[in-house]
């Protein structure tokens, strides 16, 4: 699993990545009350807004860690945003077909991300 | 209890005498089909009930007239009562915007003088007083920018850069005006990093429309690279938008015009002492330099057109006019200087206990972080804010700006006495002690209010907005 500076995780198998928000992100946001992801078929560049999550504290864009086309959106967090607080890894947000696997080189591994979060 | 729940059938404030005018049935005038079949469900109360009902509600209220209200970025300064008295003069109160030509000269003169004074405070060429509030002003200013690019054949300029410390209204207004928003990360010092801005401007290239900036920014820091920032944006063909939310720090000291901004919106209910929210409508005048002045509402042939009926929130404009005339130029400067002094005094009192991640000096407001406190004690910024309510203070802004974890944004304004600031600092330090000794009391705060800790999460997840 790889991590972005914007606190998304991505798990890649072949040319398909599964994207979600990190545990650090959900703990910083607090109780999440809303989640909305762009529909399947949306084409994104790395860093584009793939959707938004809102907590009682803040609204926060989800930035796609990689470029590609959204294949599937997980509807569960939209129906019950609290799932993102209880398990942000099991409750992934969307899958994406990667255009450029070399973009993964710019992401962090778990150790680097831990250090990044501790700032 | 609502007035409906207190209603008693048949109860009245007044019972009129039998009318000596012959009764004509409504149905014969309006047609039976247009009449409601059941009476309107209005509460039935005596005058005593009504007066006590609203007096009881008013006593539960908290405002700048009842106590200290350090809500960061909102500039909750005291609203002088002379403004209210003058705005209530019969000549203003009874004025009608459609009165025949020549009958509203005094009102028009006041508006023209207010425009001139705001131009001087902001270093701008012209002002429109139409926008109804801050976000409306943002939209108006951005529409002027869009109109300028249309007029000059640069319709491809669609990207607005906004620092990640900005107010949420900035990206919302830009999107509403048809622009695409790109966020610019702040440097570790909390300021816009000119190098990062240069990269963002180059990346946007010919599509760059401009930058929206609040100066001082929401961390209470003056963007000291502003001259370089303006050169970068102008050099790349963009325009600079000044969010006037924090003008209270710099009146009479510098101007958005001197900093290089092309267009600015003000919040008269912040900087110019008119009431917030329930005290009356807002007002968000927009000023522009020579480049953008022709596009302002009601200002010449390139005008984007009207953004509000008549002359804006006229009564509010009268109050702002009174405020400026009461203080004068040197008084406005003194207001800003005192606002900055008060904020620095409080920061110095609090930074020994609470973390102040952006240094020991600030402008008119500052941001503390409760991240360390939360890690040590489990007490969050929200808990401290709720604890302040029990100490008799309105909480500061919390969890904004979002780039500081567990943030508390404190803006004392210039209208508070040293004793008030001292009392607030003591309360904050006492809460810090409580957090270490007895955190449970803070998790349960407030306990002195009509309702305790509200479940904001449940309200947001399952909103019940109609009964």
E-only strand ranges, B258-392: 263-265, 286-288, 366-369
- A31 shares contact with chain B (CB less than 8 Å): yes
Q: Give me the pLDDT at residue B467, please.
A: 65
Right CATH number for B329-452 from 3.30.1600.10, 1.10.10.10, 3.30.450.40, 3.90.1150.10? 3.90.1150.10
**Which chain A residues have a beta carbon less than 8 Å from that of B461?**
31, 33, 81-82
Residues of B within 8 A of A34 (CB-CB) are: 460
Q: What is the ipTM of this complex?
A: 0.73
Task: Answer whether A60 sits within 8 Å of B402, measured CB to CB.
Answer: yes
**Tens-place pLDDT, residues A49-96:** 999 999 988 888 899 999 999 999 999 999 999 999 999 999 999 999
- Chain A residue nearest residue B399, CA to CA: A57
User: Across the interface, do A33 and B402 touch by the CB < 8 Å criterion?
Assistant: no
Q: Is A110 on the interface with B (CB under 8 A)?
A: no
| Domain A2-100 in this protein, CATH class | mainly beta
List, in sequence order, every residue forming a beta bridge with A55; answer none if it has no partner.
A32
CA distance B182 to chain A (A): 9
Residue B460: per-residue pLDDT: 85
Give how far B154 is from chain A: nearest CA, Å.
Answer: 24
CA atoms of B46 and B14, how far apart (whole Å): 8
Taking the alpha carbons of B5, B8, B14, B16 in that order, is the dihedral positive or negative? positive
Do the Cβ atoms of A58 and B402 come within 8 Å? Answer: yes
For the segment A91-112, the average pLDDT, to the nearest whole number, is 96
pLDDT given at position B326: 97
Q: Give pLDDT, residue B252.
A: 97
For B8-46, how does the pLDDT look when each residue is reduced to its tens digit (9 = 90+)? 999 998 888 888 999 999 999 999 999 999 989 999 999
Extents of the domains making up chain B: 1-16+42-58, 81-325, 329-452
**DSSP helix/strand/coil, B377:** helix
Q: Cβ contacts of residue B160 below 8 Å, gap of 6+?
A: B142, B171, B174, B179, B180, B181, B182, B209, B210, B211, B212, B241
Length of chain A: 119
pTM of the model: 0.88
Instruction: Answer whether A56 touches B (CB < 8 Å).
Output: yes
Is A88 an interface residue toward B (CB < 8 Å)? no
pLDDT at B139: 98
Q: Please state, in angstroms and rounded to a whole number, the distance separating the CA atoms of residues B318 and B92.
A: 8
Average pLDDT, 10 consecutive residues per value, chain B (467 residues):
94 88 92 92 95 94 94 96 96 93 93 98 97 95 98 97 94 96 92 96 97 97 97 98 98 98 97 82 94 91 93 94 98 98 98 94 97 96 97 96 93 98 98 97 95 89 81
CA atoms within 13 A on the CB side of A95: 9
Q: What is the pLDDT of residue B199?
A: 96
CA B115 to chain A, closest CA, distance in angstroms equals: 36
User: Three-state DSSP class for B214?
Assistant: strand
**Fold held by B81-325:** 3.40.640
Contact A58 B400 (CB under 8 A): yes
pLDDT value for B13 = 87
* pLDDT over 90 at A112, yes or no: yes
Would you list the domain boundaries of chain A?
2-100
Asked if the model's pLDDT at residue A111 lies above 80, the reply is yes
The chain-wide mean pLDDT, for chain A, equals: 94
- pLDDT higher than threshold 80 for residue A23: yes
């Amino acid at each position: 699993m790889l991590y972005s500076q914007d606190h998304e995780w991505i798990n890649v198998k072949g040319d398909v990545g599964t994207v979600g928000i990190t545990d650090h992100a959900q703990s910083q946001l607090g109780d999440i009350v809303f989640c909305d992801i762009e529909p399947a078929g949306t084409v994104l560049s790395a860093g584009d807004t793939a959707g938004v999550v809102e907590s009682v504290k803040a609204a926060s864009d989800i930035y796609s860690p990689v470029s590609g086309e959204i294949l599937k959106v997980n509807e569960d967090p939209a129906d019950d945003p609290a799932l993102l607080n209880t398990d942000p890894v099991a409750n992934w947000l969307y899958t994406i077909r990667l255009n450029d696997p070399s973009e993964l080189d710019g992401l962090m591994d778990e150790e680097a991300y831990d250090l990044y979060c501790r700032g | 209890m609502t007035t409906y729940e207190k209603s008693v059938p048949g109860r009245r404030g007044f019972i009129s005498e039998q009318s000596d005018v012959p009764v004509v049935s409504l149905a014969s005038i309006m047609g039976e089909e247009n009449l409601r079949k059941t009476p309107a469900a209005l509460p039935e109360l005596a005058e005593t009930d009504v007066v006590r009902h609203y007096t009881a509600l008013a006593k539960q209220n908290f405002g700048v007239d009842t106590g200290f209200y350090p809500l960061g970025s909102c500039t909750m300064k005291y609203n002088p009562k002379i403004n209210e008295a003058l705005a209530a003069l019969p000549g203003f109160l009874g004025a009608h915007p459609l009165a025949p030509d020549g009958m509203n000269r005094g009102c028009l003169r006041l508006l023209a003088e207010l425009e001139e004074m705001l131009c001087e405070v902001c270093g701008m060429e012209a002002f429109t007083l139409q926008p109804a509030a801050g976000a409306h002003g943002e939209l108006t200013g951005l529409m002027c920018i869009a109109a300028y690019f249309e007029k000059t054949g640069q319709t491809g300029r669609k990207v607005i850069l906004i620092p990640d410390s900005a107010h949420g209204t900035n990206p919302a207004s830009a999107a509403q005006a048809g622009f695409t928003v790109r966020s610019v990360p702040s440097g570790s010092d909390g300021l816009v990093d000119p190098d990062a801005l240069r990269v963002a401007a180059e990346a946007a290239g010919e599509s760059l429309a401009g930058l929206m900036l609040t100066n001082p920014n929401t961390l209470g820091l003056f963007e000291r690279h502003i001259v370089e920032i303006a050169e970068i944006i102008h050099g790349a063909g963009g325009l600079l938008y000044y969010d006037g939310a924090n003008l209270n720090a710099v009146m009479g000291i510098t101007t958005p015009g001197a900093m290089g901004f092309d267009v600015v919106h003000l919040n008269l209910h912040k900087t110019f002492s008119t009431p917030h929210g329930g005290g009356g409508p807002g007002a968000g005048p927009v000023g522009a330099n020579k480049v953008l002045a022709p596009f302002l509402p009601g200002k010449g042939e390139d005008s984007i057109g009207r953004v509000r009926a008549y002359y804006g929130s006229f009564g509010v404009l009268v109050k702002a006019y009174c405020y400026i005339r009461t203080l004068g130029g040197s008084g406005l400067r003194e207001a800003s200087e005192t606002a900055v002094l008060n904020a620095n005094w409080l920061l110095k009192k609090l930074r020994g206990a609470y973390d102040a991640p952006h240094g020991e000096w600030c402008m008119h407001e500052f941001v503390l972080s409760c991240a360390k406190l939360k890690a040590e004690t489990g007490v969050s910024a929200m808990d401290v804010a709720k604890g302040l309510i029990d100490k008799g203070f309105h909480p500061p802004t919390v969890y904004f700006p979002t780039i500081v974890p567990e943030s508390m944004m404190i803006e004392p304004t210039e209208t508070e006495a040293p004793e008030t600031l001292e009392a607030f600092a003591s309360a904050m330090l006492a809460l810090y002690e409580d957090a270490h000794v007895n955190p449970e009391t803070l998790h349960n705060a407030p306990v002195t209010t009509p309702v305790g800790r509200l479940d904001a999460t449940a309200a947001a997840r399952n909103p019940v907005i109609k009964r």
